[in-house]
Chains A and B, each alone.
Chain A
Amino acid sequence: MNAQAYNFAYLDEQTKRMIRRAILKGLAIPGYQVPFASREMPMPYGWGTGGVQVTAACLVPEDKLKVIDQGADDTTNAVSIRKFFEKTAGVEVTEATGEASLIQTRHRIPEQDLSKDQILVYQVPIPEPLRFLEPRETETRKMHELEEYGLMHVKLYEDISRHGEISTSYAYPVKVEGRYIMDPSPIPKFDNPKLSDSSAIQLFGAGREQRIYALPPYTDVQSLDFEDYPFEVSKAPHDCDLCGAKDTYLDEVITDDAGSRMYVCSDTDFCSTRRQNGHVGRLGTPVSSEVA
């Protein structure tokens, strides 16, 4: 691709203005899904086109961009999106969570707390939390308008009556400021508490479904539950085998064909920072002893 042939951050300014208007509306009505005229992007739908458009509309030349997928900076799609903005916007990129002014993510919220100078952009496949209960957009929009969320509570109740617990482990629905039920994108429910009262701006972009929604800083976000069945986070009952962290979300990695496993932080930046600070896990080695 010839970067010169395109505007800064790929999208033309009119399109960015249209997206920014949708973002501002989203920030003004937290959790409400704002329709926007999503454009075709040079990556496929379902691969982060919504997030990419939101990022493109937010980026300024001074920004420092971090892109993660599954918590990691080096997964293929994260690499591809980061390269896209390096090429089309020429912005600086980083893997350090604390240094980034804008972080685009798929399926995770970084372990490290975000600050008020940061924007977190989520890639969203299905923005409608009620979609799997009601396939029709015309119906679900009405349900949101009327705050008619009975169907969702029935679903959660049925989960409990059948499984003894709410059997949703990711994309766990939340209620925003006591009003809209929102899909937090397919993050594990381990990450849900981090949605609430965050210092950073959180923006959600769904390209194929043409929706943008947002959480302004310090928004109250509650995971749906019942008084007698309160929301609980879950993670693998292990510590990170590389850095020894006890309170991070872990990837399970199969290490041989005899079924051996290791558990490592899904947030690669968090894990490597800990290791550089001298933390060593069960199977880890001090960073200094490794040959680069």
Chain B
Amino acid sequence: MYVAVKGGERAIDNAHAWRDEERRGDTSIPEVSLAQIREQLALAVNRVMAEGSLFDADLAALAIKQSRGDLIEAIFLIRAYRTTLPRFGASRPVATSKMAVDRRVSATFKDLPGGQILGPTFDYTHRLLDFKLAAEGKAPEVKIAPATKEDVPHVTSFLNKDGLIETELPSNEEPRDLTREPLEFPAGRDLRLQSMARGDEGFILSLAYSTQRGYGRTHAFVGELRIGRVAVEMDIPELGFAIEIGEVELTECETVNQFKGSKTEPPQFTRGYGLVFGQSERKAIAMSLLDRSLRWQELGEDFVGAPAQDEEFVLAHCDNIQATGFLEHIKLPHYVDFQSELELVRRLRTEAEAAQEAAE
């Protein structure tokens, strides 16, 4: 007798065992260590930390190893882990003006206080495969300069002295928390920035790109892009003052956007903002373009129907964990629904054929 083939625990266990074997690959080749991933695939680690919203390079490295290098899967592992962590408080806002910068460039000024610091960048390199790397040579020798202790002021603060750029008013309003409250629209800038900071790099990139190509143009200049470490401080009620509990690496991008004025605002430069964990400058730049584009309402601009202007569209679709989960769920069994569709189509066809015959 034929028995309908369905899943079964043994099949799942075997599939998982096979996957584990594939993960390890050829056992005659040494296993990759977490430290190797953390140190030598640092930008992948950064992306997983940023979109996983958890600053822990070792866990990110573990997730990358466990996911066989599938970064979205790794981000998912981190998200699922972070959601279980207790929350014992919130830090003070980090002071990016006090960042120990590794990289700091401005596209709007040739030189500026604090200087242009190129840092460890792929920019200006020829993208030629470096076969020396395949030979596993010695570590490169580099000269190390002592770190400067001076604060590096933000470029936009220079513009602000002349009133040429909109003023960001400090606010003590508690920002809402995307991970503790359901997302409701209109979301506001705090939730938009949170959402984009953990949103998919590719999605944010493409939408930002679409604004450059005319779908909600924002005429952005990179006022400043900086990468470095900032101290994280927390107020301890028992002590009555803030102490430093650690530091995080951040990429911050501020765009300066041309703005001819609107019904409500005078002509001045406006801002877009991007802030991402780790060295993730593509994402930070894209985020700042998209942030600016989403601010059309507050600045009294016209809604031209561009996706990058549409808060609900952007926020509802930028999370790659939500997106990949829902997309891939269609490979789960759907035969009950399909069965009902099958019967419907058969019935409609029968009726259509009968109607045709009757007409002939």
Contacts and interface: CB of A to CB of B under 8 A. Distances in A.
Given A37-B181, A42-B80, A210-B183, A75 B321 contact: no
Nearest to A77: B332
Contacts of A41: 80, 83
Interface stretch (B111-119, B244-252, B341-349): B341-349
A40 interface: yes
Interface residues of B, number: 50
A170 B341 contact: yes
A164 B12 contact: no
B343 A107 contact: no
A125 B8 contact: no
Contacts of B332: 47, 69, 76-77, 106
Contacts of B322: 45, 208
Contacts of A49: 325
B4 A167 contact: no
Interface in A190-241: 190, 208, 210-211, 234-236
A143 interface: no
Contacts of A45: 321-322, 324-326, 329
Contacts of B79: 40
A40 to B, nearest CB: 4
Nearest to A188: B340
A72 B6 contact: yes
B11 A35 contact: no
Contact of B339 (A79, A138, A252, A262): A252
B84 interface: yes
Contact of A262 (B2, B181, B344): B2
A204 B180 CA distance: 20
Contacts of A10: 84
Contacts of A76: 7-8, 11-12, 332-333
Contacts, number: 156
Q: Is the interface of B mostly helix, strand, loop or mixed?
A: helix
B343 A235 contact: yes
Nearest to B75: A40
Interface in A128-177: 136-138, 163-165, 167, 169-171
A37 B180 contact: yes
B1 interface: yes
B181 A40 contact: no
A186 B337 CA distance: 7
B186 interface: yes
Interface in A231-258: 234-236, 249-253, 255
Given A12-B84, A167-B344, A75 B329 contact: no
B336 A266 contact: yes
A284 B1 contact: yes
A41 B82 CA distance: 10
A41 B76 CA distance: 9
Contacts of A169: 337, 340-341, 343-344
Contacts of A137: 185, 312, 316
B335 interface: yes
B327 A46 contact: yes
A44 B336 contact: no
A197 B182 CA distance: 31
A18 B343 CA distance: 42
A117 to B, nearest CB: 26
Contacts of A38: 182
B172 interface: no
A26 interface: no
A40 B339 contact: no
Given A46-B328, A72-B6, A76-B11, A164 B351 contact: yes
A258 to B, nearest CB: 13
A74 B12 CA distance: 11
B4 A79 contact: no
B1 A250 contact: no
B2 A253 contact: yes
B137 interface: no
Kindly name the residue among B83, B321, B340 whose own CB sees the greatest number of chain A CB atoms within 10 A.
Answer: B340
B9 interface: yes
A138 B6 contact: no
A6 B235 CA distance: 28
B179 interface: yes
Interface string B41-82: 000000000000000000000000000000000001001101
Interface string A34-78: 011111111011110100000000000000000001111011111
A188 B7 contact: no
A189 interface: yes
Contact of B333 (A70, A170, A284): A70
B334 interface: yes
B182 A170 contact: no
Given A46-B330, A169-B343, A251-B335, 7 more contacts: A6-B84, A35-B184, A39-B179, A40-B80, A46-B327, A83-B9, A190-B340
Closest 10 CB pairs of A and B: A45-B325, A46-B329, A44-B325, A35-B182, A76-B7, A169-B340, A46-B326, A40-B79, A210-B182, A188-B340
Interface of B: 1-2, 4, 6-9, 11-12, 76, 79-80, 82-84, 86, 179-186, 312, 316, 321-322, 324-330, 332-337, 339-344, 347-348, 351
17 contacts: A39-B83, A39-B179, A42-B80, A45-B326, A79-B7, A106-B332, A107-B336, A125-B329, A137-B316, A165-B348, A167-B348, A169-B337, A169-B340, A169-B341, A190-B340, A252-B339, A262-B2
